[in-house]
Structure 1
Amino acid sequence: MVVSTDEAQLRAVLCAVQEHGSKAAAAKALGLPASTLKSQFAAAERRSIHVEKDEAVEFPAFVHGDEEEPIDDILDRFRKAHDRKQKAIEARSWFPIKIKDEKPYGILWFGDPHLGVHCDWKTLESHIAIARHPGVYGGNIGDTSDNWPWTGRLARLWAEADISSKTERRLATWFMMEAGIKWLLWLGGNHDEWNGGTEFYKLLGASQIPVIDWRAQFTLCHKNGSETRVDAAHGRKGSSIYNPTHGTLRDAKFGQDAALFVTGHIHSFGLFDIEFPEKKSNAWLAQISGYKMGDRHALVNGYAQSNRGAAVLSVVFPQTGKVQCFADVEQGADYLAWLRR
């Protein structure tokens, strides 16, 4: 590397370092590579070139970067944000839902609705009619609409869908607010995450309906003091070609105890009651398939279309806190009506 021996250049380098406070800042200010400036600075020192401060001239004490937020303020802001988020996480961990009804009641768990052209409307509307029965509440497991991204590789699916984003949101608004369902819970699924869908549902439900991202663990609290813990998730980790409830079973076996575990997302069905003798507990595992039919993704990837289990009806007994689940929603509704009589 050739280092300039021009005294004026070397003095300019010294002045820049003195003004800007560091060699890196001086190199940036002069438009020189950092290595070049360092070499010239070293050459000035070897030649004993000095820059005397002109006491006759006084400059203002500029603080470089004074337009930026001070680091202390940034740290304080992030500390507060962390504390706020942690409190929100703790508040959502096994949050209570108080049920005032002393009779047995039901929760109709709607699988992925995908409201639109691929929705099985006949089945969905028959289940909505049941959800309007006395003592029946609703739970939405997520993916309320296709809500395809408007850009990126999935934009072609949005372009092929014979429905607008506006219409999808109108359908979602109807489903939440106008269909006559007494909602206990809405979950946000992967489709809901696109285009601000989950945030839209949160604003729509406001304080009337808990709208929670992906997974909710909550406790149904009854007047006599009994409790029923429910773990509902749009999807779970783990899969198996031999057991559609594999991810649900995994959480039930290795996670925290609950009387009922409900899952959607993979559009397949499985339901069973299982005992965990080592934990001295038992639970219902419900993998619900949802209402989406004629799905090209399933066709191309060889996934067989599920023909049952679009929803599951859970009957809760407040006297004991126990649960009974029905894959046949109509049969479960008849049983619940008999119990309540």
Structure 2
Amino acid sequence: MTRTPLTDEDLFSALDAEQHFGTIVEASASLGMSPQTYRYRLNVAKNKLKGYEPDFGEPVEGFSTPVLPTDKMPTDELIEHMTSRYNKRRDAKDARQPIPIRMSDDDPVGLMFFGDPHLDSPQCDWPELRRCVAICESTEGMRGVSLGDHTDNWIGRLQREYAHSEASAEQGWQLADWFIKSIDPLLIIRGNHDAWSGHGDPLEYIRGVGNLYEKWKALVELRWPNGRTTVLDISHDHVGTSQFHPLHGQVRQARFNRSGINADLYIAGHRHTWGLMTTEMQGRVVWMCRARGFKDHGEYETVKGFEIQKLGHTITAVFDPNAYTETGFISCFAEPEEAAEFLTYKRGR
């Protein structure tokens, strides 16, 4: 007759009984089995635990402490681990310098860059947001890009701002889920408000297949079958501000090339202002843009005297890989409907 395999619970019960009772008879009786069965079970348990019996040092005043195993890696293993982790981080970074995007054909396409939505804010311009989302959804050849700060996501002392909010924190992520699924973005940028989530970022779980998600900034290269390429420097914000130039950060990035890779378009959100500029720089035609986003001025902006703007919630770039001129390759628009009409015209030629 085949014995039933003993579980870890069976074996630990046998060991516990030995500790609590003085004889085999008493221990076996406590478990409701014969002394012979108990003795067998106890032997199996002890054999399995032979390698775990600790060594005891010399007694001090009658007390002998065990020499316990450490949970730390040996130094050589730690060095190998650190080397392996660095290699993974380096490979991940190199794969993003830039991120290659392969286009399926040579038709003109558009990217609608959504400035900071702040979807759960009382100042979020929902009528304009819904209009832009609808245009992005319904225009053939167009995809969205989110420049970050999807919700207010207040933390610390700023959580008091939820007292003035029309939506709870949970509802904020519900709105973010709707937004991401609606525009099916090529790329999602993690802004400073998004980063306040720390580990367990909800956007990691909201994004779908084909939605790239990068922290703060991404370099993206679009590659068409005809050999045309373009590099986009997409950031929540670029370093540098000026009261005299709303696109100072983008111009600075384009001029001094901090990333080491020349881009054809530099775009950011974050500052709730917008602007468009194109020029020829260092032998290439460059666009520098900022999308305002959808959050209108609240009390904070009013008290600080920030400039009020009403346009430029999104910036849409239309790419024509068949263009004969460099100036015709990329066209940017602050009005999404105008961009959609231009893209539709380009694709229908």
Structure-1 residue corresponding to 2:320: 317
CA 1:71–1:161 in structure 2 vs 1: closer, same or farther (change >3 Å)?
farther
Helix, strand or coil for the counterpart of 1:154?
Answer: helix
Question: Which residue pairs with 2:148 in the alignment?
Answer: 142
CA contact (8 A) 2:274 2:312 kept: yes
2:339 maps to 1:337: no
Give, in whole Å, the separation in 1 of the partners of 2:132 and 2:214: 22
Which aligned pairs between 1:40-119 and structure 2 lie closer than 5 A? 66-116=70-120, 117-119=122-124
Residue 102 of structure 1, CA deviation: 2.3
> Do 1:231 and 1:261's aligned partners in 2 also have CA atoms closer than 8 Å?
yes
2:211 alignment counterpart: 209
* Contiguous gaps of at least 5 residues in structure 1: 1-53
Equivalent-residue separation in structure 2 for 1:146 and 1:310 (angstroms): 17
SS at match of 1:93: coil
CA contact (8 A) 1:147 1:197 kept: no
CA distance in 2, matches of 1:76, 1:301: 53
CA distance in 2, matches of 1:140, 1:297: 24
Other structure's SS at 2:263 match: coil
Contact 2:115-2:294 within 8 A present in 1 as well: yes
In structure 2, the partner of 1:227 is 229
Is the CA contact (8 Å cut-off) linking 1:198 and 1:213 kept in structure 2?
Answer: no
Give the residue type in structure 2 aligned to 1:336.
L
Conserved? CA contact 2:186–2:210, under 8 Å = no
* Aligned sequence identity (%): 32
SS at match of 2:196: helix
User: Which residues of 2 match residues 206-285 of structure 1 at below 5 A?
Assistant: 206-255=208-257, 256-276=261-281, 279-285=282-288
> What is the rounded CA distance, in whole Å, between the counterparts of 1:296 and 1:109 in structure 2?
27
Structure 2 counterpart of 1:126, from 128, 131, 138: 131
In the alignment, which residue of structure 2 is the partner of 1:290? Answer: 293
Query: What does the per-residue CA deviation read over 1:112-132, in whole Å, with 9 as the maximum and x for residues that have no partner?
Result: 111122211111111111102
Q: Is the 8 A contact 2:151 2:193 kept in 1?
A: yes
Cα distance in 1, alignment partners of residues 78 and 303 from structure 2:
49
Q: 1:206 to 1:267 in 2, by over 3 A?
A: same
> Cα deviations across residues 93-125 of structure 1 (Å, max 9, x unaligned)?
111111214221111111111112221111111
Residue type matched to 1:142 in 2?
G
Say if 2:274 and 2:292, in contact at 8 Å, map to a contact too.
yes
d(CA) in 1 for partners of 2:149, 2:185: 16
TM-score where L is the length of structure 1: 0.76
Q: Which amino acid aligns with 1:164?
A: S
Look up the SS of the partner of 1:231 in the other structure: strand
Spell out, residue by residue over 1:211-263, the C-alpha distance to the aligned partner (whole angstroms, 9 max, x if none). Answer: 11110101001111111111100011110001111011111111131111111
Contact kept, 8 Å, 1:136 with 1:182, in 2: the verdict is no
In structure 1, the residue corresponding to 2:222 is in which secondary structure? strand
Count residues with an aligned counterpart: 278
Larger mean Cα displacement after TM superposition, 218-227 or 65-74: 65-74
**Residue type at the aligned position of 1:143:** D
1:248–1:328 CA distance, 2 compared to 1 (3 A)? same
Aligned partner (choices 169, 172, 178) of residue 168 of structure 1: 172
Query: 2: CA distance between counterparts of 1:334 and 1:301?
Result: 38
Q: 1:145: Cα distance to partner?
A: 0.9
Residue 171 of structure 1: how far off its partner (Å): 0.6
> Distance in 1 between the 2:76 and 2:161 partners?
47
For residues 9-45 of structure 1, give each alpha carbon's deviation from its aligned partner in whole angstroms, at most 9, with x where no partner exists.
Answer: xxxxxxxxxxxxxxxxxxxxxxxxxxxxxxxxxxxxx
- Superposed, which structure 2 residues align to 1:293-308 within 5 Å? 293-308=296-311
Structure 1 pair 100/85, CA: closer, same or farther in 2 (3 Å)? Answer: same
Instruction: Say whether the 8 Å CA contact 1:106–1:336 is kept in structure 2.
Output: yes
Deviation at 1:198, TM superposition (A): 8.0
CA-CA distance at 1:331 after TM superposition: 1.4
Contact 1:103 1:317 survives alignment (8 Å) = yes
SS state of the match for residue 100, structure 1?
A: coil
Following superposition, the deviation at residue 64 of structure 1 comes to 8.6
How is 1:170-209 mapped onto 2 (pairs within 5 angstroms)? 170-177=174-181, 179=182, 181-196=183-198, 199-209=201-211
Q: What TM-score does the superposition give when structure 2 sets the normalisation length?
A: 0.74
Write out per-residue CA displacement over residues 52-99 of structure 1, whole angstroms, 9 at most, x where no aligned residue.
xx9xxxx99987984544333333322222221111111111111112
